[in-house]
Amino acid sequence: MNDSITIEVIRHGLLAAAEEMARNLCRTAYNTVVYEIHDYGIGIHDAAGDVVADAPGIAVFTRGNDHGIKAAKEFVGADAMLPGDVFLLNYPYWSSAHTLDPLVFAPIHVGDELIGFASCRVHVLDLKQKDPGYVLDSTDMYQEGLFFPATKLYREGEANEDIFNVIRFNSRLPERTIGDLQAQVSACVTGVRRTQAIAAKYGVPALTGAMEAINDHGERLARIALAKLPKGTWTAHDFVDSDGVDLDRMVKLDVTVTVTDEEMVIDWTGTDRDVRGPINLPVGQTAAFCSLVFKALTTPDTPVVAGNFRPLRIVTEPGSVVHAVPPMPTFTLWTGLLGGEVVLKALAQGMPDRVPACSGGDVCSMMGLGINPRNGEQWLEATNEAVGFGGHAGGDGADGIMHLTEPGCRSNPVEVLETKSPMFIESYGYRPDTGGAGRHRGGVGVGRAYRFTAPATGICLVYKTKTKPWAIDGGHEGDNNHIILNPGTEREVVQGGSYNRLQAGEVLVNNTGGGGGYGDPLERDPARVATDVRNGFVSVTAAEREYGVVVDPSTFEVDEVATARLRKDAA
């Protein structure tokens, strides 16, 4: 049995290996979505496929990798996973994501013994899905691209050129797609080598014993925290704008959360079924976003390990929007981005002091593509946009940060987008008055305006525009997300998720939502309201209307007499 010091040294060695995997991935990837935004999930797993170390990127990816590796082991068989093999898996119902988020993983052997896996998932640009860039209206899996069901990219260290050629001849952007896949391979090989080095230094029994101890300790920490949570059962629902096909039908997410001394149960019974469009989720991703919420409540200060989630049980109905089965379409995975905050909405009823109000609630992605007139080549660039976070018992929500599903991610910089594409960023900044008013204010969202300098396609991936971010304890709702095409002209259109053919000179504005407020706005310290006005987060008009605070627009001083009168009248 390992001593605790050795276990801790091995744990940090595995974490360092995962971080090195991420650095190698970012150095070698072709796609700015990977190396600028950090749209990846990287993990080192034990022989069962359970994660023991990760490098933060998109939070739901790493837990989805566990699910994918386990499905691949069942399909291929552990005995057929040989030293030097590298696998490609993007069959959504196993891999826990859509076809353009392929999981690449490699078994880790010492001699002939399988001791673990190294995994890397990223968003690649094209695998023959029916539409370039992104698919918003597929009605079955066969419109969503090429499927690789745990296929060997490398066989015992040798490239499987047949598979690379299939990809090369079926991708609209073969160089960048294959380049990103090879970057994933590089990351996985790095993880294999570093884990083997740890095994060589401490011995295989010490390493595998440490992996077991790491997950057992992760479970103990989660159970200690679970015991301190309020106990009860709470139900909530919210909506996805549409499924991309039946545009007038909002899709209901219905959840019941039960907390006992032994477990948290997240039950999605009652969530909509028979959803024709591609917002259906592979069940592995449903488990992943539920795991994110559970970890935030129980073990937020420690790295992700599979043991953290042993006290979590998730109930779904096969065929529902949170448990897709073949051939249900799954390409537009936004349900998994919105679903976590439905869980928080239920929990807020029983533990409002522990969870925040709703954030802007969406990743608010914008993708542009076309032919670049500078070089005559195809271009495709994208970015996810920041939102305001919800107010909470401890204070205001954060202003303009990445959605809670993307804690390790960033937005694509203006300079990168303008350098690599015919897009000019006309403006980019905070959106005043978008955070919900409250004793603790919701964070404000942001707005970014793109002027296309050549004909292009602008794809908007925003699926929470018809409902507003909910508040807690008398706070006010935040402003919702929305896309505006050609603002201020006779061609102005306000919309959400959409596929737009744009001419040179047209403008697309991505406006993201603010977080919900927490508590009665009339209880907010007037000096804090004045600071918000000075900082441009709250307008003078909104300060009076929402908070009952009169602020001088020149000096930003509070008129205490007028404020007292306003608040008395509003009480």
Residue 451's nearest CA partner among 487, 405, 408 is: 487
Does the structure show a pLDDT above 90 at 6? yes
Distance of CA 468 to the CA centre of its chain: 19
Task: Enumerate the β-bridge partners of residue 107.
Answer: 117
Helix (DSSP H) and strand (DSSP E) numbers for the chain: 13, 20
Residue 503's nearest CA partner among 451, 426, 460 is: 451
H helix or E strand, kind and range, residue 204: helix 204-228
**536-567 residue pLDDT tens:** 999 999 999 999 999 999 999 999 999 999 99
**313-372 residue pLDDT tens:** 999 999 999 999 999 999 999 999 999 999 999 999 999 999 999 999 999 999 999 999
Task: Enumerate the β-bridge partners of residue 495.
Answer: 483
- H helix runs in 3-88, sequence order: 4-28, 32-35, 59-76
> Which residue type, as a one-letter code, is found at position 87?
F
Backbone angles phi, psi at 332, to 5 degrees: -90, 95
Backbone angles phi, psi at 54, to 5 degrees: -145, 170
pLDDT at 1: 56
Tell me the CA end-to-end span of the chain in Å, nearest whole number.
65
Backbone angles phi, psi at 490, to 5 degrees: -70, -10
Distance of CA 14 to the CA centre of its chain: 24
pLDDT band at 2 (very low <50, low <70, confident <90, very high): confident
Neighbours of 425 (CB within 10 A): 14
pLDDT at 408: 87
Q: Please return the burial class of 55, using the count of CB atoms within 10 Å of its CB with bins 0-12, 13-18 and 19+.
A: buried
pLDDT at 562: 95
Residue 278's nearest CA partner among 337, 317, 333 is: 333
**190-242 residue pLDDT tens:** 999 999 999 999 999 999 999 999 999 999 999 999 999 999 999 999 999 99
pLDDT at 407: 84
**404-429 residue pLDDT tens:** 998 889 999 999 999 999 999 999 99
CB 465 within 8 A of CB 485: no
Tell me the CA distances in angstroms from 459 to 258, 280, 488, 500, one per residue in order.
Answer: 38, 19, 21, 6
Tell me the CA distances in angstroms from 109 to 15, 193, 208, one per residue in order.
Answer: 19, 10, 12
Does the structure show a pLDDT above 70 at 303? yes
**502-522 residue pLDDT tens:** 999 999 999 999 999 999 999
CB 185 within 8 A of CB 86: yes
Does the structure show a pLDDT above 80 at 402? yes
Neighbours of 343 (CB within 10 A): 25
pLDDT at 305: 97
**123-151 residue pLDDT tens:** 999 999 999 999 999 999 999 999 999 99
Q: Is 540 helix (H, G, I), strand (E, B) or coil?
A: helix
Does the structure show a pLDDT above 90 at 252? yes
DSSP code string of 121-170: EE--S-SS-SSSS--SS--SGGGS----SSEEEEETTEE-HHHHHHHHTT
Tokens encoding 342: 């439905």
**438-478 residue pLDDT tens:** 999 999 999 999 999 999 999 999 999 999 999 999 999 99
pTM: 0.96
Question: What is the C-alpha radius of gyration for the chain, rounded to an integer number of angstroms?
Answer: 24
> Which residue type, as a one-letter code, is found at position 367?
M
CB 454 within 8 A of CB 231: no
pLDDT at 60: 84
Q: Is 370 helix (H, G, I), strand (E, B) or coil?
A: strand
Backbone angles phi, psi at 195, to 5 degrees: -70, -40
Distance of CA 292 to the CA centre of its chain: 10
pLDDT at 571: 78
**37-83 residue pLDDT tens:** 999 999 999 999 999 999 988 988 878 999 999 999 999 999 999 99
Percent residues over pLDDT 90 in the chain: 97
Q: Max Cα separation, the chain?
A: 80
Range 239-255 average pLDDT:
97
Percent residues over pLDDT 70 in the chain: 100
Q: What is the mean pLDDT of the chain?
A: 97
Backbone angles phi, psi at 545, to 5 degrees: -70, -45
pLDDT at 59: 85
Residue with tokens 């991936």, as numbered in its chain: 461
pLDDT at 111: 95
Residue 240's nearest CA partner among 406, 383, 362 is: 362
**517-544 residue pLDDT tens:** 999 999 999 999 999 999 999 999 999 9
Task: Enumerate the β-bridge partners of residue 158.
Answer: 155
Neighbours of 132 (CB within 10 A): 17
pLDDT at 190: 98
